[in-house]
Structure 1
Amino acid sequence: MSALLPLPAVPAVPAAATPQLPAARLRGTTPGGINGGRVVDSRWPQALVTLALGPLRRRLRSSTARKAMPLELENQLKLKVIMLQRGDTAESDVMLAEVGNPDEDTWKPVRLKPSEDKTSWSDADSSVVLQMSEAQLLQKLCPQRESSPSFRASAPYWPQIISQQMGPWPLKGPGTVLFEPNRLLDVAKELRNGTGPVVIPGGAQELQLPTSDVVDLLFPCLMGSSLADVFGEDSQGQLTYQELLESCPGLGDVGAADLSRVERLTDGRVVTFEQKPFNMECMSRRWSRGAVIRKLGKNGVAETAGCKAGDIIVTINGEAVLNATLADVEERLEQLPAQLEVGQPVLQEPLYLREATTDLLTSLADVEATEAVEELLPRVSQLMEGQASMSDKLPQVFAGDGGSASHVHVDSTPMVQMCHVVHGVKIFGVDSSAGASGDLKPWVTRWGSPASTEAEVALPVDVDLDQEYAAWLASRETSIAMCRAGDVMLFWGGNPHFGSNGMGAGPCVALFHGFELRQNVEKGAVEGFKRCSIYAMDWTGDKLLVAAKDGPGIRLQDVERGVEERTWSGEWMSIRTDPNNPFVAAAVAWNGKFKLFDTRQASQSVFDVDLKKTSPSMRDFLYLCWSPDSKNIALSNRNDQIYLLGLKKGESNCLRLGSSKNMNMEVNQMVYSPSGDSLWVATGGNPGKLHIFPSDSLQKPERSVTAHNWVTWQH
């Protein structure tokens, strides 16, 4: 971006015209200058503040507009501060700014560096010098931003050298502190290139985001409180996960509570599954390990056996699974009969709710907060000048008591992530020196992928850290951002990152969403294609599902952006989208697996079953097709056998095996009639035939059409 190019120095003022600028001092000291970092004299028409009035700022109220006027220097110079770029050494800080005359709309870029004692800023030849300390400058740039609690108070157990490296700024290590809203798109485009995170102090107000209203709504409800107080007011310290799920609709279908620090279980039980609980849904106990039952399914196997929503699965057939991967737990549940030890976790501080829907804001404040957030992503898209493709329509909500933290991880589908802090303090770490394809620490997990070890490292601020982790946090290469309510942060999800919730300001509530920036690709600019074998593909809405031989299995491709959004593992031979729901798809695999899944979520399936456990012949599948009413699916395999599956979706999901038939000739294709009353099967042989079966049974008399023969078909 242009602001990062080498910038010309501002010519020095000739001595004959005006005395040499003595460090381009701020005009006025007492009373017309700085007293304790505050403007105390309003006589000057140009206020002593360094924020430029860009197009976005002109629509602000007059008091804000006055506040945003450029800093006026002696000799009629003004200074606009654009951004502070921080590096991996103490000497690498650079302030990108512009200097101009107040009577002319001409500005010259300058690069200012701080003096050794941090009391002034100057360009390379000292032709422009700003006599102002870092703390005074930040106060001038962000007069409305809260300054407490301090980093030491927010992260009492972290290495305190981080506070020294950070200074008064909200960032230490490589990254950018942005003060000019008009440069948002420019800095966002650079994130993928390892530039470190971008922090926008007071970004909710500066960017005119609806989250500024959410900040005001949450403050009186959460200050001095905790999430356990909010959701367990009547539980007397015995809030269970089942009670939380019942009282917090914002957890929805994907939200969860981090249970890694739970120390007590209650209501312990031993339950036995004689059948596989097809309609039971599990989620991870920690961030990527362990298993908790989210949904039982009405009158399902799990409920009948005695399970409850919110149960932690402790053992399966005597084997501990508290730290097993979720995939391993699901595989063990298929080994019937399965005897489980389960219990209800007793939730306690610090509580961390993750990936919740915006309905959580209604529980924390009121419905007005939820409604305000509905306009957030459209506003961000507008700021990105239509070049951002949002991954979702609404952000996800993360809410955690001080001391809770996520684990250090890399996103499985990297994109630009945007964080909006609406209450409390969020301390965020990003290692931009190690991208998704680079060397990762052995304890960094890749989100959505099976971990090779049981390492899942979180870095809370309220407990002593292992020396290796503390050293990593303190290293200059690791960026640490401290964001307060109203701040905005952007980072690249392909870099190792994590979030910790600070102490002393009540629960931290932050909204996260991702987006990809469209790039104009010229002819001949794309290279390095990889050839792969494709088994099947189908459209799901405006995106494409692709089943490939060369892994990872099924891919969801946004063809407009050229982005792979998510994947599902396995070797799937056929995929077809529900004719009545573009976000639901069915897939069948060579090894007998059948999956019915929501393409908007990589971790949740309506059905995920191994059909060969029902019948050994139900394998080597090649093709599937839907009935027009979405109630039935027909499957065919290499042995030219056809199977009918009946689907019942809803609260009590049910998969029923219908009739089957051995065709004794090569099955080439199948399709239901538009009315859904018949299944048409095309077979090879000499001659080839079309076989027409009643859709409810393959055992009833069929009709057939022989190739190259004319027939009259009547219903």
Structure 2
Amino acid sequence: MLQSGVPLARRVPPPGPGTCKNLGFCGHPLDDKLPHKVCGILALSGFLARPSGRCRMRCDGDGGKERPWVAPVVQATGAPGEGNVALGAIQQAADGSSILHGQVYDEDAEGWRPVLLKRVGTSSTWQSKDLTLELPLEKIAKILPSQVDLKKELPCWPSALRKSLEAWPLKGPGTVILDPHFFTQRAAALALLGGPVVFPGAANAMGLSSTRCIQSLNKQLSGRHLRSLFCSEAGNLEELLASIPASLRSAHFDVAAALGRGMASEDPVVVQLHVRCPKSKQRKLKCDAKPLRNCYCLKSFQTLITLVEFSIEAKPLELQCESASWTCGAVLRHVAPGGEAERAGCRVGDVIIKIGDLDVTQIPFDDIQDQLEGPDSITLTLSRPKLADKIYLREVPASDDALSSLSGTPLTLQDLVPSLGESFGTNYVYFSEQTPMLFAGDGGTASHLHIDRKPLLQFCHVLHGTKVFCVAPPEGRAPGPVVPWAEPGGRPAHEAVLSTDTDLPKGASEWLQREDVSLAVVRPSDVLLFLGHSLHAGCNGASELCVAVFHGAQPVSYMAQGVFGPAYQALAKRMLAR
């Protein structure tokens, strides 16, 4: 199960001994003392429940007004008071057992803490280390909500997405249980046909780890640079990648900034290899060659350091190029030991400047791939600049990967940023009241309730391989792959950033009105779902709104920047005012 911690912050204690067990109306408005809504993976909820300060009775609201529902509170042996366990969700564990997620009131801490109770065999008894609860499945089916209105439950979700989800049949006794693959298909179709899909406020509402990770990193850095935190002694990208925690090796750095511009090696190396093979072998190899995936997006590098000529014999070049973003240039991220590329002199971190006589620093990576996978001998001109004094983390892996246990590696991301443990160091999954009700499961009756083992609390992490767009550069740095968003007064903000190498066309106002061009206003903590080379989701962690521009399904510019920045801001405000 994906580890996450979005605690249910109930604001009132449970009813004490002697409290009326029947629902009643005491006349008190609920105002800000409402406990948070529990949207469990399978929600066990149907009414309001809070103790009244005056009559100490549980009330269901003020005269029939519709209120957010919360999980029912039931009695368990081993905890103080009556109605002392708030039910949250039922999970089918990997071993086939059923787990009940709930919360119990802790009198010492004067707050609610999560608890997991395991069902004893096929009985109605649920137990944890300290608690015992009698809860028949028939009672669970009774207290489930009788009907669900997606428009009511998901008011901030795009209406087109809601409508596409409504076609999915309800499973279980009136509970919305959506298949994650179905959701992915619908969202991808919308992103492909209609441009980006925005989930307003979703990052904060779902407690996505992306924003917390960035904030924790910034706090841990305390003004230092990432290079001083990871590896201050690394002289080039190869040494940096070999030194950082394994949990961050799949992260993407701002390579154009990290490698600098015009930094030549004091001892240029020129390696030439001339080997040719029969046409038949070339054709066979082209079919068997492994595809090169990912690439780093680079600006122009003028320093030419290494000249290497390759020929493909009985196996591919055995190197991989990776991209931090979308369009131009490539850097070698992996060179197989003993392979053709290594024997020719290639090293991790080398920047491909030319293929033959063709300058590829501004050529789309797909075209570079085609050149590298061709059947003929190729000559690569490589640049091997040193690392700059500062490096910038551009994207980091999803939290479950970044915080995974690393055998034989003494340092993990959680070691680097201890405060992350506060967010991810729990085995409990809870949903806050603003969390979209998106559940994964398959069960027609209450006796077959189960869910997907990966909760969709962080659906964009789990389903779409989220790229966490990371911190902005310091004040004064020239725009590049990481583009600062200027706050009022010109001060750059730490934010979620994604940019491209291409400027918008001239006559932007006319171009923006084309049918195949779409814009999305992305406010702070909004989650943006879009289709690049694959389905992606990112969140705006900035303190200001931004505008995402798409040409068809491809992102053109994320964040208002450059000469069009002020115009985008004005456009965004007009769009929001409608």
TM-score range, shorter chain: 0.3 to 0.5
Which entry has the higher C-alpha Rg, 1 or 2?
1
Q: Please give the TM-score of this superposition, normalised by the length of structure 1.
A: 0.33
Q: Which has the higher helix share?
A: 2
Q: Please give the TM-score of this superposition, normalised by the length of structure 2.
A: 0.39
Q: Which has the higher strand share?
A: 1
Which of 1 and 2 has higher RCO (CA within 8 Å, sep 6+)?
Answer: 2
